[in-house]
Amino acid sequence: MKKLFEEHGFNVMNANVISDPIKKPSGVPAYGYVTFAEDSELERCLKVMNNIKVQSQSIILNRQGDNSRNPLANIIIQGIPKNISQSEVHQAFKKYGDIKSCKLQTYHDNTSKGFAFVQYDRPEQAQAAISELNERQAFGATLKIEIFKKQNERIDPSVAQPQKPFTNLYVHGLLETTTVEQVKAIFAPIGEVESCSLKANGKGIAFVCYKKPEDALRAVEELNLKQVQQPGKAIFVSKLISRHENSENHHAGISQIGNSMKHNFQNNVFVNFLDPATTEEALIAKFSQTGEIVNVRLIRKPNRNFISATVLYKDFDGAQKAIQRFHDSRELCGNRPLLVDVWMPQEEMKHEQQQKTHQEFERLLNSLMKMQIN
C-alpha cells in the first residue's frame, strides 16, 4: 500500500494493512492506515486520491479520528444509474463543497444499488447540492436528494398516514422458551390485555390483543425494538396485518408486511462465513465496537462449515461503520474472510433481482437492435 501512494508522488512515512493478507477476488484489502511526513501531504492526498480506482475498487480516504461530521451535511442520493461509479458521483458533487466522504452502495458483486451517501463539511454545502440537483437530471436520470436521517429521526410511513385504530399486535423475537404468562407480564403494564397467545411452533411469535386502541399504539411505541428479555435480544412489536390488508397495500412490489419489516430492520447487517464456534456473546462484543446493538441472531444450517448472523444496530451509522470495519476481515471468521453487507428482506431481494434481470434483458435487447441497424 505504501508503494501505491509513493507512486502518486506522496511522501509516506509508514503504511499498514489491518486486514489479513487473504483478500477479496478483486485483490483490495478491507482497510489500512497511511502516515504522511507532513499534514499538507495528508490534505493533498485526501483531495487527489479519494475515490480513485485500485484493481476495479474505489478507495475511500478519511483522516483518522475525524468524528466531526455534521449530520445536517450528510445527504443521500437516490436514482443513480447503475453504470455510474463512485468516483463519478464524487466528481459531480464536489463542486458544491468540501466532501469528507462519498460512498456508493453496492451489491456483493460490486454492481451499484443506485444510491450513495455524500458527507459534506458544512450544512450549507449539502443544501446547495440539494437545491441544485434534487428532482433534476444528472447522469441521464432524475435524482432524489435529501439530508440523510437516522432511524429515530425518520417518520414511519405506516404511522404518519391516517389509519384505523387497531388493538391486535404481532410480536416476534421472543425467546423460544417464553410462556403466555411471560408475554402478558411484558404487555400488561401498558394497558388491559384482552387476549394473548403464542403461535404453535412459532419460534418466539405471539399475538396480543388490547382492549383499547390507544394502549396498542403505545405498546408499539414503547416496546418495539426494546431488549425486554435479555441483552442483544430485542422484540419486534407491530400492528397485526391481516392477509387482506397485506395483499391490498403493495408499494413498489413489496407487501405491507414487507414494508413493515424493512422499517424495523433498516439498520440490520448480514454477516456470513463466521466460525461455527462463534457465540452470540462474542458477536455482540466484536460488532458493538461500531455502534449500539439492538439484536443479534445466529443462523446455523446443516452440512456447512460456517454460520451466518444478522446484527441489528440502533442507528444506521453503526451499521454503516460495521460494513466498512468488518467486511472482508478475518475476525471471528472460519475458512473465508467475513462477508458483511446490508440485510434485505427476501421479498425485497426477489424484487431487486427481478428489476436487475429486467434491466439486463433491456440492455441485451438494445444491443441486438443496434447490431441489426448496423
Same domain as 38, residue 6:
yes
**Residue 133 binned pLDDT confidence (cut-offs 50, 70, 90):** very high
Place of cell 478475518: 330
Residue 238's DSSP bridge partners are 170
CA atoms in the 13 A half-sphere facing the CB of 153: 9
Residue 226's DSSP bridge partners are 235
Give the three cell numbers for residue 135: 428532482
Asked if residue 365 belongs to a domain, the reply is: no
Q: How far is 327 from 339, CA to CA, in rounded Å? A: 5
Asked if residue 255 belongs to a domain, the reply is: no
What is the tens place of the pLDDT at every residue in 102-126? 888 887 677 888 899 999 989 999 9
Where residue 293 sits, what CATH number does that domain have?
3.30.70.330
- Is there a contact between 190 and 222 (Cβ–Cβ < 8 Å)? yes
- What is the full DSSP assignment across 214-264? HHHHHHHHHHTTEEEEETTEEEEEEEPPPHHHHHH--BTTB-HHHHHHHHH
What letter represents residue 274's amino acid?
L
- Strand 144-147, strand 74-78: pairing: antiparallel
pTM score, two decimals?
A: 0.46
Same domain as 56, residue 79:
no
- pLDDT of 41 reads 82
What is the tens place of the pLDDT at every residue in 232-256? 889 999 998 876 665 555 444 445 5
- Is there a contact between 190 and 218 (Cβ–Cβ < 8 Å)? yes
Same domain as 176, residue 220:
yes
Give the three cell numbers for residue 177: 422458551
Q: How far is 76 from 116, CA to CA, in rounded Å? A: 6
- What is the full DSSP assignment across 165-198? ---EEEEE---TT--HHHHHHHHTTTS-EEEEEE
Same domain as 106, residue 78:
yes
- Of 259, 236, 234, residue with least CA distance to 246: 259
Mean pLDDT of 182-193: 96
Same domain as 144, residue 74:
yes
- Is there a contact between 336 and 238 (Cβ–Cβ < 8 Å)? no
Q: How far is 164 from 213, CA to CA, in rounded Å? A: 9
Total count of domains within the chain: 4
Query: The domain containing residue 280 runs over which residues?
Result: 264-346
Same domain as 183, residue 116:
no
Mean pLDDT of 54-65: 67
Place of cell 391490498: 248
**Residue 209 binned pLDDT confidence (cut-offs 50, 70, 90):** very high
Same domain as 75, residue 35:
no
Give the three cell numbers for residue 104: 456508493
Same domain as 269, residue 232:
no
What is the tens place of the pLDDT at every residue in 317-346? 888 899 989 999 999 988 889 999 888 766
Residue 271's DSSP bridge partners are 309, 340
**Residue 17 binned pLDDT confidence (cut-offs 50, 70, 90):** low
Asked if residue 319 belongs to a domain, the reply is: yes
Q: What is the distance of C-alpha 90 from the center of its chain? A: 20
Residue 298's DSSP bridge partners are 309
Q: What is the mean pLDDT of the chain?
A: 81
Q: Which of 21-30, 39-48, 148-157, 295-304 has the lowest mean pLDDT?
A: 21-30
Comparison of pLDDT for 205 and 253, the residue scoring more: 205
Is pLDDT at 23 greater than 70 in this prediction? no
Asked if residue 250 belongs to a domain, the reply is: no
Q: How far is 340 from 310, CA to CA, in rounded Å? A: 9
Same domain as 171, residue 141:
no
Q: Which of 45-59, 86-100, 214-228, 352-366 has the lowest mean pLDDT?
A: 352-366
Domain-ending residue, one of 41, 60, 79: 60
Comparison of pLDDT for 317 and 369, the residue scoring more: 317
Asked if residue 254 belongs to a domain, the reply is: no
Domain-ending residue, one of 225, 240, 255: 240
Asked if residue 355 belongs to a domain, the reply is: no
Same domain as 168, residue 120:
no
Domain-ending residue, one of 12, 43, 60: 60
